[in-house]
A = this chain, B = another copy of it.
Amino acid sequence: MAFKTDIEIAREAKKRPIQEIGEKLGISSADLLPYGHDKAKVSQTFIDSVQGNPNGKLILVTAINPTPAGEGKTTTTVGLGDGLNRIGKKAAVCIREASLGPNFGMKGGAAGGGYAQIVPMEEMNLHFTGDFHAITSAHNLLSAMIDNHIYWGNALEIDTRRVVWRRALDMNDRALRTITASLGGVANGFPREAGFDITVASEVMAILCLATNLKDLEKRLGDMIVAYTRERKPIYARDIKADGAMTVLLKDAMQPNLVQTLENNPAFVHGGPFANIAHGCNSVIATTTALKLADYVVTEAGFGADLGAEKFMNIKCRKAGLAPSCVVVVATVRAMKMNGGVAKADLGAENVDAVKSGCANLGRHIENVKSFGVPVVVAINHFVTDTDAEVQAVKEYVKDQGSEAILSRHWELGSEGSAELATRVAEIADGDSANFAPIYPDEMPLFQKIETIAKRIYRADEVLADTKIRNQLKEWEEQGYGHLPVCMAKTQYSFTTDPERRGAPTGFSVPVREVRLSAGAGFVVVICGEIMTMPGLPRVPSAENIRLNADGDVEGLF
């Protein structure tokens, strides 16, 4: 049986004009700022006008720890959104935007897959509506203003060795990771070490995704720490007077983007912070706007539930006053097998025992999510090679955990395949059984917050951190940053900090290598392992094969 590729399916999509998609949510064409015929931004004026509306139900889609087998979290998010619409509910999907740079290294990602996709796929993997370019510009304006301040006399007494604000590009360029800038003589400034991060790693990205409105955006931008004096006094973006101009550069980017699923249902695609050094969720403004317009909003969080759902709950929901009504944990039979020790090459063969053994990973995620007071459904994202016995094994395991697993075939069948999942999710959400709370209070000391996550979510025995790190955390507490949540940066492949340890490991420690303060975004980043903030290109970058074909279609991007 031959299946069409995602891009083939996406190109066959019968897209409706974006104004029609807006109408489904009560957005008039005057309130939509179109970008071409199939993309639009929702105007700030309109967003302001619907603040009195009641909120719909928020549904989070998260997953087991990712494996090379693929889980289909976005695919399930889209499929569930379409499924809800199919059963007569007014539902919208909220996901993140794709980063441009990585698409020229490895092939670009679809937004979903099979018959559960968001379109237009090409544009979403290229410039889309320009949000990331706006973030890059705002980021680099601040960078230029810092060096310009130093050049013209350095009235703020910035220690040029302690400029922590780097530059940003949406490009995989390892040559820019570490540079010496301001070379070439007196006219070019004071030489100093500097470097670039990829745009999605910028604190501006995290801020755009957490800000509730333009005023909040400007305040948070001003709060960013960009450098220190020789006496370690922090210098803020506000001191550089960059916050106003950065806000101007971001004013359009703050408006959420509306596109559509293959089934012409509304999808908001907005923001894309890293899921390690940032919180990995689409923008608060997209989510809160969607909740004012739809009865059900299906969203997702980056990586597995140990990172993605944890940050969604402890950072995004806490800060934005959101509360999920139901959480869907995506699992696949194939991923269960890999967690059960099967190599990727052997996934084609039935192996019920391996499935059963791998389910421990799923079980821990279910338990973790429930600890936030939210009901859980497991979606088994169906692959054609799955056998009935394997599917049954997952269902039984989940049932034994006191939850329910539903096979969903949206990849193959679109909403027809996800209607059962949608029905159950709607029932649970409507049942209002959730009693959501973050798992630690604001007032808990920072190190204790780290321990809470490491012990309660990862099930580590202890957190290891040397005195320097502990003192740094205490210093921030004294400076008034103790109330911030922590943002864990560790491997997504394991509950531990070792990417090879699949399943549900116990008996390990979580070593903290470094802590960073994202004072504008409003969290303390806790780095537990190697975190790369500027990727490189592979030996044969996909860019070498990307081109327009004779029909004007993009080849090689997917």
Which of B133, B175, B178, B218 lies in contact with A127, CB distance below 8 A?
B133
User: Does A245 count as interface, using CB distance less than 8 angstroms?
Assistant: yes
Residue interface bits A24-63, CB-to-B below 8 A is 1, else 0: 0000001001111100010010000000000000000000
Minimum CB–CB distance for A513 against chain B, Å:
17
User: Does A554 count as interface, using CB distance less than 8 angstroms?
Assistant: yes
Stretch at the interface among A109-117, A164-172, A343-351, A368-376: A164-172
Does B147 lie within 8 Å of A175, measured CB to CB?
yes
The residue of chain B having its C-beta at the shortest distance from the C-beta of A241 within the complex is B544
* Chain B residue contacts of A127, Cβ below 8 A: 130, 133-134, 137, 249, 252
Q: How far, in angstroms, from A180 to B195 measured CA to CA in the complex?
A: 10
Q: How far, in angstroms, from A144 to B218 measured CA to CA in the complex?
A: 32
With contact pairs A36-B33, A174-B188 given, residues A548 and B214 touching in the complex (Cβ less than 8 Å): yes
User: Does A518 count as interface, using CB distance less than 8 angstroms?
Assistant: no
Q: How far, in angstroms, from A44 to B174 measured CA to CA in the complex?
A: 35
Category for how many chain A residues contact B? 35 or more
User: Does A401 count as interface, using CB distance less than 8 angstroms?
Assistant: no
With contact pairs A130-B127, A251-B548 given, residues A141 and B543 touching in the complex (Cβ less than 8 Å): yes
Q: How far, in angstroms, from A280 to B442 measured CA to CA in the complex?
A: 57
User: Does A177 count as interface, using CB distance less than 8 angstroms?
Assistant: yes
Which of B134, B144, B174 lies in contact with A189, CB distance below 8 A?
B174
With contact pairs A33-B36, A183-B180, A546-B245 given, residues A147 and B130 touching in the complex (Cβ less than 8 Å): no
Does A244 lie within 8 Å of B556, measured CB to CB?
yes
User: Does A541 count as interface, using CB distance less than 8 angstroms?
Assistant: yes
Does B152 lie within 8 Å of A539, measured CB to CB?
yes
Copy tally for this chain in the complex stands at 2
User: Does A194 count as interface, using CB distance less than 8 angstroms?
Assistant: yes
Minimum CB–CB distance for A378 against chain B, Å:
39
Which of B41, B104, B137, B545 lies in contact with A141, CB distance below 8 A?
B104
Residue interface bits A174-210, CB-to-B below 8 A is 1, else 0: 1111111111100111000111000000000000000
User: Does A469 count as interface, using CB distance less than 8 angstroms?
Assistant: no
The residue of chain B having its C-beta at the shortest distance from the C-beta of A246 within the complex is B543
Within 8 A of B (CB), among A131-160: 133-134, 136-137, 140-141, 143-145, 147-148, 151-152
Does A247 lie within 8 Å of B548, measured CB to CB?
yes
Does B33 lie within 8 Å of A244, measured CB to CB?
no
A-B contact pairs, 20 of them (CB 8 A): A33-B36, A44-B552, A104-B141, A104-B144, A126-B248, A127-B130, A130-B130, A130-B133, A143-B175, A144-B172, A145-B541, A151-B174, A178-B183, A179-B179, A180-B180, A184-B195, A187-B536, A244-B547, A245-B543, A247-B547
